[in-house]
Amino acid sequence: MISFENVSKRFGKTVVLDQFSFSLNRGDKVAIIGPSGSGKSTLLRILMALEGIDSGKVSLDGEALWHAAEGKPLIAPTRKHLQRMRSLVGMVFQSFNLFPHLTALDNVATAPRLVLGLSRHDAEQRARALLEQVGLGEKLSHYPSTLSGGQQQRVAIARAMALEPKIMLFDEATSALDPERVGEVLEVMRALAHERDLTIIVVTHQIGVARAIADRICFMENGKIVEQGAPGPLLDSPQNDRTRAFLRAVHLE
């Protein structure tokens, strides 16, 4: 479903991904942890086609995101190709990024109308069902400023799901929330992970979130995966010295 093959990405002289290789099958739920600057968020931005790559190959659903003939330089994809590939992926950011002048219903219904061409009736019907699913069926007419942080993030999740992606990316989706609000968003994420045939990548500094969502956790540093495994063994008995040091530091925060 997702494949990175020897991908390198630089910003100036800074190497962000270093011959990075990584793959997920359909339905996998993976959490990525690691220190700031390890390349976690860049990985997600590449999957959303918000960032290009310098070398290597990225594939989504069996198709190359960037094109290159064997042994030739990378070829920029067409706009039509990028739009089609982006339609496979939904992303939820740390900041909620809701439209402040739109109600919860309209925040969710707008993309299906503009991107998928649904009628207003069909788009609103889909939005209502998704807002019900994330526990906000009574907040359809509310504006973002009247919602708690956890409620806003649940609207953002519903909005991402409205385009019916095959892949969902969560970039520190619970980090901006008060501790008591993390649970409500985590419950929605957990429900999505287990009720839908979605491939999910969660980037997080919150070890409890990683443990609750993922069936595999990857520890990244310096643009590479240093260690990966099932949540229990990796978090409770990491084998790599750097993983152990990172987890000790996180638990001390």
Task: Please report, as a single letter, which amino acid is at residue 82.
Answer: L
Could you tell me which residues are beta bridge partners of residue 11? 14
User: Is residue 193 predicted with pLDDT exceeding 80?
Assistant: no
pLDDT, residue 226, reads: 96
Segment 54-75 shows an average pLDDT of: 80
Q: Which DSSP helix (H) or strand (E) runs through 58?
A: strand 55-60
The full set of domain ranges for the chain reads: 96-164
- Map tokens 């992970």 to a residue: 193
Q: Give the other-Cβ count within 10 Å of 167's Cβ.
A: 21
Give the pLDDT mean for 18-27: 93
Distance, in Å, from the CA atom of 249 to the CA atom of 253, rounded to the nearest integer, reads: 7
Angle between helices 149-161 and 120-133 (to 10 degrees): 130
pLDDT the model gives residue 237: 94
pLDDT in tens, 209-250: 999 899 999 999 999 999 999 999 999 999 999 999 999 998
Predicted pLDDT of residue 68: 65
| Residues 104-154: tens digit of each pLDDT | 999 999 999 998 999 999 999 999 999 999 999 999 999 999 999 999 999
Q: Residue 25: what residue type?
A: N
